[in-house]
Amino acid sequence: MFCLPKTRSSHCHGNRMVAFLGILCCIAGIASAQTQIKVRIHADQPTVEISPHLYGLFFEDINDAADGGLYAELIQNRSFEYFSLKDTHPRTEFHPLYAWQIASSPKNRDRFVDATMQVHDESPLNSNNTHYVSVTADQPGTFGIQNLGFDGIRIDRSAKYDVSLYARVDDWRGDTPLTVRLLSPDGDVCGEVELPKPGSTWQKLDGVLTANETRDDARLQITTNGRGTLDLDMVSLFPQQTFNGRKNGLRKDLVEALRDLNPQFLRFPGGCITHGWGLDNRYRWKDSVGDVAQRKPNWNLWGYHQTYGLGYFEYFQLCEDLDMAPLPVVPIGVGCGFRCTEFVPMDELGPHVQDALDLIEFANGPVDSTWGSVRAEMGHPEPFGLEFVCLGNEEHDTPDMRQRFPVFAEAIRKVYPEIKIIGTSGLGTGIPIYDLMTKEKVYSSDEHYYMNPRWFFDNVNRFDSFDRDKPLIFVGEYAAHDTDRKNTLYSALSEAAFLTGIERNADLVDMTCYAPLFGRKGHMQWRPDMIYFDDRNVVRTTNYYVQQLFSRNKGDVYLANSIDVVAKSSEPLFDGHVGIGTWNTAIELAEAAINGRPLDLADWKSTSGEFDYTGGRLRQTDLQATPALAISHESFSGEKIVFTARVRKTGGKEGFLLRFASDANGNGGYWWNVGGWNNQQHGIESFDGDQSSTIAKVDGGIESDQWYNLKIEMNGDTLRCFINGDLKQQVQLGSLDVSISSTYDRDSGEIILKLVNPTAAEVDAQIEFSGVQAMASTASMVTLAGTKDAVNTFESPETVKPVASKIAAGTEFQHTIPPYAVQAIRIKSERTN
């Protein structure tokens, strides 16, 4: 194998040079030797200011992130409002008594009498909370109900819990108070408190319970002694130890995990949940504020229920507690493009626009304004200082959306000209509605990508060529999806490499946040997530630690830098097998060649579907195969590989797939999809783990029964794709070598160097600084390293974790970057500029 050295420079954004320095060959046997690079930091060449709010958070109630998650309430279905979600999800288990049981007698106590429980809606607590439970005993004795919490209730010995409920009795004989107790599944009493005897009208009763045991499977029991009917609603149990001790507060350990990320903003409430399944299911912020007993719950499009207990007040308060800018997302009168095509008629849009305006008033309005007064009543007369509003989430490019977005933007600008409007770029990396956002002159536009790790490496340069006259970019959701959607170190390193490109372009990319944030063990609709939890444990993933490393070591200004790769042990980007494939299409391959040398098609192997070799040609006729693939026996390597194929379509809907850089079974690498997407587009797609990601697409299709000469030129890190001699696509991919970012932190007077090594080889780096008067002789360093597939789990949450150390530094020093690692090095310095 030949490995050619090269130089990569990133003197400033938009400058993406690949210069060939000289030829040093390394031979296969020596290829495992360390990669050698020369890193130069030009401290006197600041390029762009780093956005102060570059790293933030995205919260969505997915994977039980709110109820049963961040929201510290321990009672599930506290107001008996659950119902079956059979029409949208195969989740028929929900019903108004979900998580509730008839109370069982505790150990060593008198047996409870038989009772029944039924849900009713006559004379409810209020018109938003329409269901309650009636527990009836026909003979005198002790009876009641119990709640199982979210997979059991976590309690801690000596910890105090606030309990509250609404109760009333009907046709009642008896004079005893209510007893509320924590109980183990075996009936051991783990804490008990008495609440006053209820009257015949709804009354809120509360008390404090102290747990006398530590366990995760407790239940909360409410009983009384008498005969007749006890009505209960809004049964609540909160640990007093919430974050900052807030009432109706948030789980301390989970907020601490967020705090440790040093986040600068929080996007909320999502995600798809913002539009909801349809207009009726959209997130209604007005139902999420005020007294929790008055909040009207909503069902959750991810397949469960949301109480809105963690609502907009709690959200703004959390932002204030962690000093994050709130980034509320409001729906814009169109349904979620993935789930429905509903939209609000233009002449009925008024109340929806008003909702958005009222949210701003709730956050910032004076205490005598309608919504400012609600905020004040909730205990926060001071404004929350809202600066940004996000209009829409991941919108699909439809005329309805294009018509409605400007109405919201204009209305907000008219009433609140100081509010910065964050738009949406639409789905995928083609950012189809960026043009509308440009026309609307939004502050920034939100783009989302869930791609394979390879895509992130290939897109380290994504923003270098973006037009600086267009809106800023908000990367409002992204995550690398590795094999089986595991949070591998490799996935985290691909995100780290991508972030080095973002810092280089931080004049354009204003904010970024990983998504989704939370996943509750056993309740996941989506992986990977940044933080996993159960009732007691919090797992900070490799991806979490990458976010933390970047956010804690951001700096204020980017410094020009360059990397010279002197020798490298990693394989060139396009090493591997080539092949031909189809998607719902029949084809015939007549010739294939590498660098002009014809390949013997007879030894190509079908790795998916069936290719038939006759008369010197490979044929595929199954129109159902998606895909059919035949892969070359030989593999190819080198700095320049030219793959040519003469091929024609004989039937079906699409075109040809030219596979390259794959393994012998057709896994990994890339394909050029010629006449894909119903023969409408050509696209270069990468394969990593078990996922494909589209790198770039152009419009185009192919004809049936015509021979095509296709050519893919793989040169260094550049791909050029031709049809009949015409260049159709050209992309420059990121390399799997080291990626770096260099910034300066004005407060600490430190140069911060971030180094990402996603390869199996150590990297010997000669690091040099120019434009400095003085550099400290030592530096502090944080390293995140491990094996490629390392994952933090509940069983082993610290497989990969940051390790701090000191290293020798100076204006020139030698440094070894471990395999599969990201490091942040901070060195005190005096810059000449």
**CA 165, 166, 171, 176 torsion: positive or negative?**
positive
Instruction: Kindly indicate which of the ranges 268-276, 341-349, 577-585, 649-657 contains the residues binding ligand AHR, using the contact rule CB under 6 A.
Output: 268-276
Strand, helix or coil for residue 28: helix
Q: Are 2 and 637 in contact (CB under 8 A)?
A: yes
Mark the segment that binds ligand AHR (CB under 6 A) among 19-27, 266-274, 311-319, 359-367.
266-274
Please, what is the minimum distance in Å from the beta carbon of residue 332 to ligand AHR? 14
Report in angstroms how near the CB of residue 693 gets to ligand AHR at its nearest.
15
Closest approach, Cβ 15 to ligand AHR, in A, equals 33
Q: Which is nearer to ligand AHR, 526 or 677 (CB)?
A: 526
**Of the residues 394, 446, 482, 503, which one makes contact with ligand AHR according to CB under 6 A:** 394
Q: Minimal distance in Å, beta carbon 517 to ligand AHR?
A: 9
**Contacts of residue 197, Cβ cutoff 8 Å, sequence gap at least 6:** 175, 176, 177, 178, 224
Stretch that binds ligand AHR, among 113-121, 187-195, 269-277, 340-348 (CB under 6 A): 269-277
Q: How far apart are CA 479 and CA 544, in angstroms?
A: 11
Closest by CA position to 733, among listed 669, 680, 676: 669
Catalytic residue flag (residue 394): yes
Q: What is the dihedral of CA 418, 423, 429, 433, to 10 degrees?
A: -130
Per-residue burial over 86-124, b if 16 or more Cβ lie within 10 Å, else e, is eeebeeeebebbbbbeebebbeeeeebbebebebeeeeb
Q: What is the DSSP letter of 454?
A: H
In the bound state, the residue with its beta carbon closest to ligand AHR is 271
CB of 516 to ligand AHR, least distance (A): 4
Question: Based on CB atoms, which residue is closest to ligand AHR, 423 or 516?
Answer: 516
**Which of 265-273, 363-371, 435-443, 713-721 is the region at the interface with ligand AHR (rule: CB under 6 A)?**
265-273
Between 307 and 393, CB nearer to ligand AHR: 393
Nearer to ligand AHR, 342 or 535 (CB): 342
Fill in the per-residue mask, 345 to 384: x = in contact with ligand AHR (CB under 6 A), - = not in contact: ----------------------------------------
- For 771, counting Cβ atoms within 10 Å of its Cβ (0-12 exposed, 13-18 middle, 19+ buried), the class is middle
Upstream peptide bond of 758 is cis (omega within 30 degrees of 0): no
Smallest distance, Å, CB 292 to ligand AHR? 25
Angle 350-364/312-321 helices, nearest 10 degrees? 40
User: In this structure, what DSSP letter does residue 85 have?
Assistant: B
Of 60 and 564, which CB lies nearer to ligand AHR in the complex structure? Answer: 60
Which H/E stretch holds residue 480? strand 472-480
- Candidate residues 43, 62, 349, 733; the one interacting with ligand AHR per rule CB under 6 A: 62
Strands 444-451 and 472-480: parallel
- Please report whether residue 393 would count as binding ligand AHR according to CB under 6 A: yes
Segment 481-540, which members bind ligand AHR (CB under 6 A)?
515-516, 526
Residue 288, sorted as left (phi over 0), alpha (psi -120 to 50) or beta, turns out to be alpha
Contact status: 60 vs ligand AHR (CB under 6 A) = yes
Output 518 or 671, the one with its CB closest to ligand AHR.
518
Interaction pattern, residues 440-469, with ligand AHR; x per rule: CB under 6 A: --------x---------------------
Q: How far is the CB of 697 from ligand AHR (least distance, A)?
A: 19
**Structure tokens belonging to residue 435:** 């043009």
Min CB(530)–ligand AHR separation in Å: 11
d(CA 322, CA 268): 15
CB 798 within 8 A of CB 730: no
Based on the shown chain and the rule CB under 6 A, indicate whether residue 328 belongs to the binding site for ligand AHR. no
Binding to ligand AHR by CB under 6 A, coded x per residue (else -) over 162-191, reads ------------------------------
Q: Are 820 and 791 in contact (CB under 8 A)?
A: no
Residue 434, classed as helix, strand or coil, is helix
The maximal CA–CA distance of the chain, rounded, in angstroms, is 97
| By the rule CB under 6 A, 270 interacts with ligand AHR | yes
Choose one: 153-161, 264-272, 454-462, 814-822; the region binding ligand AHR (CB under 6 A).
264-272
Cβ distance to ligand AHR smaller for residue 39 or 65: 65
CA gap 135, 115 in Å, rounded: 7
By beta-carbon proximity to ligand AHR, the closer residue of 362 and 450 is 450
In angstroms, give the least distance from the CB of 616 to ligand AHR. Answer: 47
What DSSP string describes 218-266?
EEEEEEEEEEEEEEEEEEEEEES-BGGG-TT-BBHHHHHHHHTT--SEE
Which distant-in-sequence residues (6+ apart) come within 8 Å of 700 by Cβ? Answer: 674, 675, 680, 681, 682, 723, 728
**Contact flag: residue 392 with ligand AHR (CB under 6 A):** no
Q: Which is nearer to ligand AHR, 83 or 526 (CB)?
A: 526
Which of 207, 213, 211 minimizes the C-alpha distance to 194? 207
What is the closest distance, in whole angstroms, from the C-beta atom of residue 336 to ligand AHR in the complex?
8
Q: Which tokens is 233 given?
A: 């609603």
Name the phi and psi angles at 803, rounded to 5: -125, 125
Interatomic CA distance for residues 395 and 605, integer angstroms: 42
φ, ψ dihedrals at 673, nearest 5°: -95, 100
Size of the residue set binding ligand AHR (CB under 6 A): 12
Q: How far is the CB of 681 from ligand AHR (least distance, A)?
A: 21
Q: Kindly give the pairing relationship between strand 739-745 and strand 778-785.
A: unpaired
Catalytic residue among 73, 342, 394, 503: 394
By beta-carbon proximity to ligand AHR, the closer residue of 511 and 628 is 511
CB of 62 to ligand AHR, least distance (A): 6
* Pick 271 or 311: Cβ nearer ligand AHR: 271
- Of the pair 166, 518, the CB lying nearest ligand AHR is at 518
The answer to whether the CB of 4 falls within 8 A of the CB of 714 is: no
Nearest to residue 480, comparing CAs of 390, 392, 546? 546
User: Minimum CB separation from ligand AHR for residue 275, in Å?
Assistant: 9
Stretch that binds ligand AHR, among 234-242, 270-278, 380-388, 417-425 (CB under 6 A): 270-278
Does 271 sit near ligand AHR (CB under 6 A)? yes
Nearer to ligand AHR, 236 or 298 (CB): 298
Dihedral sign from CA coordinates of 623, 629, 633, 639:
positive
Q: Which of 477, 534, 588, 750 binds ligand AHR (CB under 6 A)?
A: 477
| Whether 357 contacts 410, CB under 8 Å | no
Q: Which residues inside 107-166 make contact with ligand AHR, applying CB under 6 A?
A: none
CA 572 distance to own-chain centroid? 31
Task: Examine residue 689 and tell whether it contacts ligand AHR (CB under 6 A).
Answer: no
Active-site residue set: 394
Q: Which residues bind ligand AHR (CB under 6 A)?
A: 60, 62, 270-272, 393-394, 448, 477, 515-516, 526
